[in-house]
Chain A
Amino acid sequence: MTKPNVTMTVRPLDKACSAIDIRGEVTAFAENVLMDVYTQATSAGARVIILNFSGLEYMNSSGIGLLVTLLIRANRQRQRLLAVGLSEHYQQIFELTRLNEAIGIYNSEAEAMAAQTTARVEARHD
């Protein structure tokens, strides 16, 4: 089997939020790497996971399939999946595949975290 040409690392941002830095290629070969880092982030208690795509070099349709399955896993764990660092090209792919309807896209991690904080406060007041 071809080796995955990608590295992913978990970076805790606060006790409920972790970022996953993605560098390289997101294809079918990235499945184990992605699921491993997702498990790490979940084990650390993350309720919000921010996927940082600023190091993304290549993604094919199998990569999109991986993100869809990750999204389902996160939803089942009642976690929120967000994305930052998407170039215009990858934002268009999210739009094409409707991933933008389920994964919130933000310009920065600070913006993503602020939006989640606001959403939590509003949920508490409802």
Chain B
Amino acid sequence: MTDPAPSPNPRDAGNWAQPVDRLSTAGVQAGGMRLNVEGRHLTGPIRGFGQMWQKTYWVRLSGAAVTPQEVVKTWKAEFPNFWPRGNRFYGPLTGIQPGEVAVLNLAGPGGVTAPGGTPVIATGIMVIYADETSFSFMTPEGHILAGLITFSASEADGATVAQVQALIRTMDPLYELSFRLGVGHKTEDDFWQTTLRNLAARFGVDGQPQMRTSLVDPRLQWSQAKNVWHNAAIRTAFYLPVALLKKLFGRA
């Protein structure tokens, strides 16, 4: 038997966020519905309810003279610009860095929004890891997905490939139902494929995103069914009338 002696501080030390008890939106850009983030705990795939999926989406930036480092630098700097219409990302004032929090205002399934194009789900993410060729988000309580989403770029067969990889469970039984009906999966798949198409267009490439999906764990974690209490879609639905009135009277 060996006595393990932990290695000293490794070179990834500056790439990781510190553990946090609860999220704070203090460093987030102004605007949007800042609901379901402040004071929430981070979750991750361990704490989700639904089946665990690993979904990988990628696009080859064929013909673009751009390195993986340049792609990730641009992706971080212009992250909201690549999102599908109807979805808004209010990023950290300091940019995408480990430990920073962002507020998300998302459209519903099929891109559904409230009157005036107002998103219908307010939630957030925390940047848990970032380096020159990748960065990762984890989600707070109430988000649709309990998971880890990694954005990266690498070189393969003479071209730079941009990738999104999500290791996810749905957060609660209601979200799981939408995934079982296929609506959740389609929304998720469309979201990231559109993002990658927009990213490719940024580099002048008419990209054709690919995807690969695998079911990592078919079981449900019933002990996490209580997550429904924080369901961001339900809570946002109650808040939306207030948000619409604020918008109407110019106090958004």
Contact = CB atoms under 8 A, between A and B. Distances in A.
Chain A complexes with chain B: yes
B2 A55 contact: no
Interface in A51-103: 52-62, 64-65, 68-69, 72, 75-76, 84-90, 92-93, 95-99, 101-102
A69 B54 contact: yes
Contact of A60 (B13, B19, B131): B131
Contacts of A90: 6, 10
A54 B152 CA distance: 27
A61 B1 contact: no
Interface string B4-24: 111111111101111110000
B6 A65 contact: no
Interface in A96-126: 96-99, 101-102, 108-110
A98 to B, nearest CB: 4
Interface in B87-127: none
Interface size range of chain A in the complex: 35 or more
A93 B8 contact: no
B9 A89 contact: yes
A11 to B, nearest CB: 8
Contact of B9 (A13, A87, A95, A108): A87
Contacts of A109: 1-4
Interface size range of chain B in the complex: 35 or more
B156 A1 contact: yes
B128 interface: yes
A60 B128 contact: no
B1 A92 contact: no
Contacts of A108: 3-4
Nearest to A83: B4
Contacts of B154: 2
Nearest to B17: A96
Nearest to A93: B16
A89 B10 contact: yes
Interface of A: 1-2, 11, 13, 19, 21, 52-62, 64-65, 68-69, 72, 75-76, 84-90, 92-93, 95-99, 101-102, 108-110
17 contacts: A21-B2, A55-B7, A56-B10, A57-B11, A58-B10, A58-B11, A58-B12, A59-B10, A61-B129, A65-B54, A87-B9, A88-B6, A89-B10, A89-B16, A97-B128, A102-B46, A110-B1
Given A64-B148, A110-B1, 12 more contacts: A2-B154, A52-B2, A62-B150, A65-B54, A68-B46, A72-B217, A75-B217, A87-B7, A87-B8, A87-B10, A101-B47, A108-B3
Interface of B: 1-13, 15-20, 42-47, 52, 54, 128-129, 131, 134, 136, 138, 148, 150, 152, 154, 156, 165, 167, 216-217
